[in-house]
Structure 1
C-alpha cells in the first residue's frame, strides 16, 4: 500500500512539473496559459460588441480629426477588447520623429486622477485623514479649515498659485517645487487673499492638487515622482509612465514635445510643480489605468465609488466633479460617465469612460487642437447608435 502511495505521488509530481516551463535563467515559470481558449473568448466578445463595425466608424471620425489638425495617439476599448488604436503625426516636428503607440504624452490636468487615487490610497493606509486640514500636516500653512476633502473636490477657496507667485517666478526665473510652493504660501506677506471660505463653492483650481501632491510627499516620506512610480504606476501595470520631475533618462525614451501655433514650447517655470499636472503616459498605460480603477487594483471599491460621487451642485446641469474626476451625470444627479481633460503647453488630453458599458476613450495630442475634446460621435458609436447626453465639446479646462 505504501509503495502504491509513493508511486501515485511521484506521477502527480511529474504531471504538475510537466505543466511548467524553464525560463532563460533556468527558473520555473507559471503553467502555460491556453492561448487558443483566450483567442476564442476574445473573438466571441469582439463579435458581441461589434468591434469591427465600430472600428470602421471610428476610423472615419479620426480622418475628420486629422483634417482638423489632430496630432497624437488614440485608443478606444470596450470589455477589455481594443477596438481602435493608432498613432498619428510627430512627437518631434523638427527632427521628424513620428508618434508611435509607446509615445509618452504630458497628460496635463488628467494627471489629477492619479494624485487623487494616491491620496485615497494613503487615506486607506491611515497615513492621511480626508477630513484633516492642511495645517495638520503643514502647521505654517496660513489658511484655516482647508480639509483634504475640500482640496479633492475643488472647494477650498484658495488663491491660484500660478498668479499669486508669478512675478517672483518669472522675474527671478525660478522653477519651484511643491514644497517650495508650500513655503511661499506660509511666508508670503501679506497672506494672499482667499476667494471664498472652504466648502462654500466649487472653483476648479490647480492649487488644490499641487498641495495634495505635497501632502502625498509628507505622508509617504518620498518624493512625489518616486511614490507615484512605486505605489501607483507599477502596481497598475503602467511601466511607461512617469512624473515630469523624474531623474531617469531611460524613462524618457519615446517622450513627445508640446507644440502650439507651430512652435515647440520650452520648459515652463511651473513644470516642476506636479500633482495638478506633470504625469507622462501612453495610451496603453492609460488603458491599464482604467482597468486598475475598474478592478480595484489600487484602492477599495468603496473608495473609488466615493471618488466618482457628485460633490458640487451650485450650477445645475449634467457636469459635476468628484475627487479628481469630472463626472457626467443624469437628471437624477447620478454618475453616467467619468472623465478628465487636460490642457498644458501644447498638450490636449482626454480619458473618458462608462462604468456601465465598460468602455474607455483615450486621446492624447501634443499639438494644440481642440478636436481632442469632441468625442460625442465616438461615445454614440460605442452605444451602438443610441444618442448619449454628451455634448459635442466637453472641454472643461
Structure 2
C-alpha cells in the first residue's frame, strides 16, 4: 500500500514539475515575441483540455491604456470558417443536406449548376475570392448601394465571368464559398444564421462570450480595438477605423456572415475545441471526414501551400505525417488569429492578436513544438521593417547605426535586399523622397552587384531631380547587366532629355 501511494505521489509531483517546466518555456516564447513587438493580444495553450498556459499581452485600447485581459473578445476573422463548417456538417448529420448535392438544388437562381456543397466547404468551387470581385459589376452601375451576403446570388447572376475552373479541379481559397454556406444554413434550418449558431453551437459548447457581429447589434465593450501599421515604415500603430483607405474598402458592404464576423475569446474557443473532441456538436465519423485532405477530380490531394492541405473547413498540416494536426488562421485589417489542434495528442494553441502581428502562426507552431519537446523554428525580425521605422521617426544617422547592430545580430534579425527595396519604394511612392533615397542608397551599398538595386536608386534620383546622378547609376546598372531593359529605357530617356536642355 505504501509503495502504491508512493508511486501515485511521485507521478503527481513529476506531472506538476513537467507542467511548470512547459509553462516556463511557453512564457519565454511568448514574452520574447511580445518584447520584439510581434504579439499584442491573448494566447492560450491546453493539453487534453487542461490549460497549461494563458496570458494577455498589450492593449485592447491603446488611446485609453486599457490592457487586454482574460475577458477581452476578438474578431476571429477566418477562424470563423471552422464554426460555419461545423454548422453545415450538423445539417449533413441530420440528413437535411448531403455533401455531394449541387448547391443549386437549394438555390435555383444560383448560376453554377456543377458547384456542390462539398466544393464550397473545401474551396474547390472556382468561385471568386472576395465580395469586391462579385459586386464590382453592380457597383459600376450603383456606386452608392450597400450589399450584404444575401445579395451574393443575385450579383453572381450578373457576374460577367465563368468559374475560374471546373469545380473539383483545383483549390482556390474563397470567402464567397462560406458566405454561400451561411445562406444554406439559414435556408435548410429556417433560422437566421446567428440564431442557428447560438442554439446549436455556442450554447451546447458553453461559449457564453461568443456571438456574431452585426450592425443591428451594439458591439460589447470588451471587444478589442484593432490596430495596424498603415505602412511598413510607420513607427506607430494606428486604429484601423481611423485609416481612410480601409474605411473606403468596406463602405459598400454590411453583413457577410459565414466567412468571418464571429467575436469570441480564447476561453470560448477552447470550449469549442473540447466540444468537438467530445462530439457534442458533430459525430466523430463526420469530423473525421472534415479532417481529411480533399481529393480533387484528378485523384490528387488538395495542396493549399505552406505544407498544408484543406479538408472541410480546416487546414491539415502535412509536415508531421505521424500526427493529425488541423488548424485555421484568420486575418483582417488589424487582426490575426490562429487556432491549432493536434488531434493525435489533444493539444490546442490559440492566439488572438489585435495588432496584426505577422509571426503568430510560427509562434503557435513553436508552442506545439515546446509541448512535443521538438526543435522550434526561429522567428527573426525583418531588418528592413525596423530600419524603415527608425528612419522615419529618428532620422538617417540613428537608423544607420541600428542597421549595423541588427545586421550583426543574425540570431534575432534577418536582412533581405528585396524587402528593403520594397519598403524604400513605398516611401518613394508616398513622396518621402529624401528618406527613400537614404534607404535605397544604404541598400545599394550593401548590395553593390545587384542591378535591381541600381534601378530603384536611379528611379528615386530621377524623381528627386538629380538627373546627372541618375544617369551615372543607370550606366553602372547596365555594366552589371547589359540587357537590363528598365535601365536601358530610363537611361535613354534621361540622356534624351539632357540633350534638349
Question: Same fold by TM (over 0.5)?
Answer: yes
Pick from 38, 43, 56 the counterpart of residue 74 of structure 1.
Answer: 43
1: CA distance between counterparts of 2:89 and 2:13?
33
In structure 2, the residue matched to 1:274 is 257
Q: Is the 8 A contact 1:283 1:362 kept in 2?
A: yes
Task: Kindly indicate whether structure 1 or structure 2 has the higher relative contact order, using CA contacts under 8 Å at least 6 residues apart.
Answer: 1
CA RMSD of aligned residues (A): 2.6
1:264 partnered with 2:269: no
Structure 1 residues 1-397: aligned runs within 5 Å: 44=12, 47=15, 50-69=18-37, 70-160=39-129, 161-166=131-136, 168=138, 172-186=143-157, 188=158, 191-245=160-214, 247-249=216-218, 252-261=220-229, 262-266=237-241, 268-269=250-251, 270=253, 272-312=255-295, 313=301, 315=303, 318-329=307-318, 336-375=324-363, 376-383=365-372, 385-387=373-375
2:149 and 2:179 in contact (8 A); partners too: yes
Secondary structure of 1:252's aligned partner = coil
Uncovered stretches (5+) of structure 2, i.e. residues with no partner: 1-7, 230-236, 242-246, 296-300, 381-501
Against the structure 1 CA distance between its residues 205 and 391, is the aligned structure 2 distance closer, same or farther, given a 3 Å change threshold?
A: farther
Contact 2:317 2:326 in 1 (8 A): yes
Is the Cα–Cα contact under 8 Å of residues 225 and 245 in structure 1 kept in the other structure?
no
Structure 1's 326 and 172: CA in aligned 2 closer, same or farther, altered over 3 A? Answer: same
Is the Cα–Cα contact under 8 Å of residues 164 and 192 in structure 1 kept in the other structure?
no
* Equivalent residue, structure 2, for 1:17: none
Q: Is contact 1:353-1:359 (8 Å) kept?
A: yes
In structure 2, C-alpha distance between the alignment counterparts of 1:110 and 1:78, rounded to whole Å? 20
> Conserved in 2, the CA contact under 8 Å of 1:210 and 1:274?
yes
Counterpart-to-counterpart distance in 2, 1:49 and 1:156: 50
Alignment CA distance shift 1:222-1:372 (3 Å): same
Question: Following the alignment from structure 1 to structure 2, what is the Cα–Cα distance between the partners of residues 362 and 331?
Answer: 19
User: Structure 1: any 5+ residue segments left out of the alignment?
Assistant: 1-39
Q: Distance in 2 between matches of 1:103 and 1:331?
A: 33
Distance 1:354 1:314, change over 3 A: closer
The answer to whether the 8 Å contact 2:302/2:310 transfers is: no
After TM superposition, give the deviation of residue 227 of structure 1 in Å.
1.0
1:226, CA displacement in angstroms? 1.4
Residue 36 of structure 1 is matched in structure 2 by none
Residue 335 of structure 1: CA displacement? 5.9
Q: Is the 8 A contact 2:359 2:379 kept in 1?
A: no
- Offset of 1:67 from its aligned partner? 2.0
Structure ranking higher in helix proportion: 2
Number of the residue aligned with 1:16: none
Larger Rg: 2
CA change 1:49–1:323 in 2 (3 A) is farther
CA contact (8 A) 1:310 1:335 kept: no
Q: CA deviation at 1:331?
A: 7.4
